[in-house]
Structure 1
Amino acid sequence: MALDVGDGAALGALVSRATSVINAVNPASYTRWERDWPPLAAAILNAAEEAGARLVTVSNLYLYGQVTAPMTEATPIAPTGPKGAVRARMWADALDRHRAGRLRAVEVRASDYLGPETLSSSLLGGMILAPLLRGRTAYLPMGRRDARHSWTYDGDVAALVARLARSEQESDYGRAWHVPTADPVTVADVLDQVQAITDRPLGRLRVLPRWVVTGLGPVVPLLGALRETRHQFERPFVLDSTAAQQRFGLAPTPLTTVLARTIAAIHARSD
Structure 2
Amino acid sequence: MQTILGANGIIGEELVKELKAKYTSDIRIVGRNPKKINESDTLHKADLLKPDEVKEAVKGSDIVFLTVGLPYNSKIWLRDWEPLMENVIRACMEYNAKLVYFDNTYAYPQDAIEQTEETPMTSTGKKGIARATAAKLMLKAMEEKKIEGAICRAPEFYGPGKTKAFTNALVFESLKTGKKPKIFLRDDVLRTLIYTPDAGKAMALIGNTLDAYGTTWHLPCDDNRLTYREFIEEISTQLGRNIDYMVLKPWLINILALFNTNLKETKELLPRYAIDNLFISDKFKKVFPDFKVTTYKEGIKAILDDYVIS
Relative to the length of structure 2, the TM-score reads: 0.78
CA distance in 1, matches of 2:190, 2:257: 25
1:33 aligns with 2:77: yes
Aligned to 2:265: 225
Find 1:108's aligned residue among 152, 161, 166. 152
**Structure 1 residues 8 and 264: CA distance shift in structure 2, 3 A:** farther
Aligned to 1:180: 220
Aligned to 2:286: 246
Find 1:125's aligned residue among 168, 180, 195. 168
Aligned to 2:113: 69
CA deviations 1:192-251 (Å, max 9, x no partner) are 11122222454x422221123235546643223212211221110111110110012224
**Structure 1 residues 218 and 131: CA distance shift in structure 2, 3 A:** closer
Give, as a single letter, the amino acid of the residue that structure 1 aligns with 2:121: I
For 1:170-209, what aligned pairs fall within 5 Å after superposition? 172-183=212-223, 184-202=225-243, 204-209=244-249
Higher relative contact order (CA 8 A, sep 6+): 1
**Offset of 1:112 from its aligned partner?**
0.6
Does the 8 Å contact 2:61/2:95 carry over to 1? yes
CA distance in 1, matches of 2:304, 2:154: 21
Higher strand share: 2
1:51 aligns with 2:95: yes
Give, as a single letter, the amino acid of the residue that structure 1 aligns with 2:80: D
Aligned to 2:191: 149
**Structure 1 residues 216 and 116: CA distance shift in structure 2, 3 A:** closer
CA deviations 1:94-134 (Å, max 9, x no partner) are 11111222101211111110111442x11112332121244
How many residue pairs were aligned?
A: 264
CA RMSD of aligned residues (A): 2.2
Does the 8 Å contact 1:106/1:174 carry over to 2? yes
Structure 2: tracts of 5 or more residues without a match: 1-28, 35-44
* SS of 2:112 mapped into structure 1: coil
CA distance in 1, matches of 2:79, 2:57: 24
CA distance in 1, matches of 2:89, 2:242: 48
* SS of 2:191 mapped into structure 1: coil
Give, as a single letter, the amino acid of the residue that structure 2 aligns with 1:179: L
CA distance in 1, matches of 2:54, 2:306: 32
**Offset of 1:144 from its aligned partner?**
0.7
CA distance in 2, matches of 1:143, 1:263: 24
Aligned to 1:267: 308
1:166 aligns with 2:208: yes
**Structure 1 residues 103 and 34: CA distance shift in structure 2, 3 A:** same
1:97 aligns with 2:141: yes
Higher helix share: 1
Structure 1: tracts of 5 or more residues without a match: none
Give, as a single letter, the amino acid of the residue that structure 2 aligns with 1:205: Y
CA distance in 1, matches of 2:176, 2:233: 13
CA distance in 2, matches of 1:113, 1:255: 12
Does the 8 Å contact 2:154/2:219 carry over to 1? yes
Does the 8 Å contact 1:105/1:173 carry over to 2? yes
CA distance in 2, matches of 1:113, 1:132: 18
Relative to the length of structure 1, the TM-score reads: 0.89
CA distance in 2, matches of 1:48, 1:263: 40
* SS of 2:205 mapped into structure 1: helix
Aligned to 1:255: 296
